Structure 1
Amino acid sequence: MLVRKNPGIYLSSLWSFRPPLLLLLFIFILRIPYAEMCSSYTPPVPTKPPEDPSETRYINLYLLSDHSHCQRFKNIGDQRLYMTVLANGVRATFSGLPPDLRLVLRLVGISCLSKSEQYSIYETSTRRRGLDGHSALWGLKKYVYQNKTEFEKATVIVMLTAFNFQDRSQTGYSSLGGICTIDNVALISDPDAMYRVQDWVAEHILKLMAIDLGNGLLAKCVRNETESDQCSLEKLNASVTRIPKECFQPRGQEVSRVTSLPGDVVDLFKLCKAMYPKKMDLDYCFEHEISGAHRFIPVYNCELTCCTEKDTIHQTLYRTESIQGLRCGVENKFC
Structure 2
Amino acid sequence: MNEPVKKGVLLVNLGTPSEPTAKGIKQFLQQFLHDHRVVDMTRWLWCPILHGVILPIRSPKVAKLYQSVWMEEGSPLMVYSQRQVTKLRQQLNMPVEMAMTYGEPSLATGLNRLLEQGVEQVVVLPLYPQYSATTTAAAFDALAKACKPLATLPHLTLIRDYHNHAMYIKALADKVRQHWAEHGQGDYLLCSYHGIPQRYADNGDIYPQHCQQTTKLLGEELGLDESQFGMSYQSIFGREEWLKPYTDKTLEALPGKGVKKLDVITPAFSVDCLETLEEIAVEGKETFLEAGGESFQFIACLNDSDAHINMMAELVRGAELRR
TM-score range with shorter-chain normalisation? under 0.3
